[in-house]
Amino acid sequence: MKSPLQLEDNAPWRQRFRCNSLGYVYVAPNDPSRGIVHASMQGPTKQTFAWDTTSGDLRPLLPRNETPSYGWLGPNGDFLYYLQDDKGSELGHIVRVPYAGGPAEDLTPELPPYTLRGFDISRDGACLAFDAVYDGYYWFYCIALESDGVPSTPNLVYRALEEAWACHLSYDGSLLAVKSTHRAPHSRRYTVLAFDTKSGRQVAELWDGFDYSVEPVQFSPLHGDDRLLTTTTASGALQPLLWDPRTNDRRDLPMPTAEGSTLPLDWSPDGSKLLVQTKTEEHQGLFIYELQKEKLLPLQHMPGTFRGRTGPYHTGNAASFFGPDGTVWAQWSDAAHPSQLLSLTASGPPKPVLPVSDCPPGRPWRSVSFPSSDGTTVQAWLGLPSSGGASEGPYPTILHVHGGPSGAVSNAFDPISQAWLDHGFAFLTVNYRGSTGFGRDFQEKINGDVGRWELEDMLAARLWLIEEGIADPDAILLEGGSYGGFLTVWALSQEPKLWAGGIAPVAIVDWAMNYADSSAAMQGWARMMFGGTPSDKPDLYRDRSPLTHAAAIQAPLLIFQGRRDSRATPRQMEHFARKMETLQKDFTLVWLDGGHGFTSAATAEHLQETHLKFAYRVLGLQALDVD
């Protein structure tokens, strides 16, 4: 490899971490002059800004040391709401801050710390609903937001033992819709439950049968209209429908010209149109759907990725929505260009809504596919280094596995991948079994069999890279965080001779110990994935833990661990580190003072520098220690 390690301060890969990074935006529906922007616009750390959409002015809403990963703006633009936790632990309380500025007010001081899995405020601003996960249950509460500005104490509407997510309130807050796994507790096939927020009485349920999933999106924006925009997989692909919980009237919305799955993102303020996103394995499109004519109108845009529902576990608002100027405002990126907010129409080219960052362009990705061991087709995204900066393949290669496992990688900007490409590495990110968007069987194949089919797909990816002449078989490194961190360490322990090294920014290495220490929300997920608790499935929890197989690991391994992580917890990593030290393995553990994610671009840049130094060391390219 001819690409030297680029450590200079103005290296393009560093600049991509430092350029303005857009997290999400939202505009208050009842006062569209007020919005919020979550981005790194005035420094290396993402902040939440008050946004005057008329003038474009941005003003920090919170102190620099207060960096929540997500916040919600009230429909009247009066308050910012967010989960205040301990440095990214994801355990805390909902607080609110006046839009004009001021101290944070705790709305649930009587509750224990909780993880948030749903949040909404009714369009009339009178009711707030949230899904708090603690003590082994999912608790759905409503808070009355009185006209005098004083919030009521939380009123319990519903409690569930099985995974139950999302909160959607009708216009006046009288109805609450949630998605529940109570019909299929060991899968994520949902049914929609609707409740009366005052009495807690279940009003109705929308279920399409055990084999399908139904999920709420949002209630009608019109007063007196209690229809709920919903999705179903009953046709084999994701499709929208309208459902009235009070009357049980249902209207499936035909999308004859749509290609792939169709995800509704927003409902126009006048109630006449929907914004929908179409998805295939390779492409995405945005359309206006006219409800009366049942007609799709394509919006003009470039290829790439549009963010759908935002927030932790999609508890937030749509990142693409009907803008206050009559156009659609959409958050777009592709592998070579960072995220930006664009104004889209059906007739003209996209226009930027917020200033576009001056960022060094990256290299494009292309979609590839290959058969796994059982013949199943697996899709992945491939980036290759510029032929001008490195010789043609085979290249040293990063085989990346995403977290989740639900979710999927798309053609979106990623400064980490671009840093590898700048240094002459090929980069392949795999949508392994368990990823969403490839059908129910593909997604659920791993349930109750954690690690098996994901590894088969990773091995198939490795074989394809070698057969195509892309990867040097002796220089393939694994990289992945969270569930991808588990898969990285798992693959090193199961096929130890195939990998040159592994990099895992946060990982689960002992499932039973992690279950004992993690949040109630994480425990609910583990029960679904394993088909029970560690007491129910002790052998499976033990066998699928990399700690059990640590002696087999041969390749060097680098792991980052947050001291306040409630998903991939610290104690299991301490045990793993001690065992690796006893076994005299080439293992580096870097502790970080945070939770499961890293909000600072400066931290992300430093971690990537550490990744690069590690890779150069283990491949014998340059003798550099990991700091």
Domain boundaries, the chain: 19-106, 108-252, 262-360, 365-618
Average confidence (pLDDT) over 72-92: 91
| Range from 134-138, 152-156, 257-261, 463-467 carrying the lowest mean pLDDT | 257-261
Higher-confidence residue of 522 and 357: namely 522
Average confidence (pLDDT) over 175-201: 93
Q: How confident is residue 199, by pLDDT bands cut at 50, 70 and 90?
A: very high
Asked whether the beta carbons of 129 and 120 are under 8 A apart, the reply is: yes
DSSP state of 527: H
What dihedral do alpha carbons 572, 577, 579, 582 form, nearest 10°? -160
Per-residue DSSP letters for 274-314? EEEEEE-SS-EEEEEEETTTTEEEEPP--SSEE--B-SGGG
**What is the spatial distance between Cα 472 and Cα 392, in angstroms, rounded to a whole number?**
11
Per-residue model confidence (pLDDT) at position 623: 46
Q: How confident is residue 2, by pLDDT bands cut at 50, 70 and 90?
A: low
Q: How confident is residue 316, by pLDDT bands cut at 50, 70 and 90?
A: low
Tell me which H or E stretch contains 434: none
Q: How confident is residue 388, by pLDDT bands cut at 50, 70 and 90?
A: very low
Look-up of token digits 């529902």 = 309
Residue 197 has pLDDT above 50, yes or no: yes
Residue 625 has pLDDT above 70, yes or no: no
Average pLDDT, the chain: 91
| Range from 109-113, 143-147, 306-310 carrying the lowest mean pLDDT | 306-310
Select from 406, 414, 415, 397 the least CA-distant residue to 458.
397
* Burial profile 36-59: b = 16 or more Cβ within 10 angstroms, e = fewer: bbbbbbeeeebbbbbbebeeeebe
Q: Whole-model pTM above 0.85?
A: yes
DSSP state of 269: T
Residue 257 has pLDDT above 80, yes or no: no
Q: How confident is residue 215, by pLDDT bands cut at 50, 70 and 90?
A: very high
Residue 319 has pLDDT above 80, yes or no: yes
Determine whether 497 is exposed, middle or buried from the number of CB atoms within 10 Å of its CB (0-12, 13-18, 19+).
exposed
Average confidence (pLDDT) over 45-66: 90
| Range from 57-66, 104-113, 121-130, 610-619 carrying the lowest mean pLDDT | 57-66
Look-up of token digits 């393009």 = 12
Per-residue model confidence (pLDDT) at position 389: 41
Angle value at C-alpha 586, between 582 and 589, nearest 5 degrees: 85
Render pLDDT for 564-613 as a digit per residue (tens, 0 to 9).
888 899 999 999 999 999 999 999 999 988 878 766 778 889 999 999 99
- 484: alpha, beta or left? (left if phi > 0; alpha if psi -120 to 50): alpha
Residue 428 has pLDDT above 90, yes or no: yes
- The fourth-level CATH superfamily of domain 108-252 is TolB, C-terminal domain (2.120.10.30)
Render pLDDT for 478-516 as a digit per residue (tens, 0 to 9).
999 999 999 999 999 999 999 999 999 999 999 999 999
Select from 203, 186, 61, 248 the least CA-distant residue to 446.
186
Average confidence (pLDDT) over 198-222: 96
**What is the spatial distance between Cα 211 and Cα 233, in angstroms, rounded to a whole number?**
9
| Range from 201-205, 257-261, 490-494 carrying the lowest mean pLDDT | 257-261
Render pLDDT for 523-580 as a digit per residue (tens, 0 to 9).
999 999 999 999 999 999 999 999 999 999 999 999 999 888 888 999 999 999 999 9
- Extract the tokens encoding 589: 């553990």
If you compute the radius of gyration of the chain from its CA atoms, what whole number of angstroms results?
Answer: 24
Residue 33 has pLDDT above 90, yes or no: yes
Look-up of token digits 């633009």 = 77
Select from 381, 554, 553 the least CA-distant residue to 465.
381
**What is the spatial distance between Cα 526 and Cα 450, in angstroms, rounded to a whole number?**
10
Asked whether the beta carbons of 268 and 322 are under 8 A apart, the reply is: yes
Fold of 365-618: Rossmann fold (3.40.50)
Alpha helix positions (H), 438-499: 440-444, 452-467, 483-494
Select from 144, 221, 159 the least CA-distant residue to 195.
159
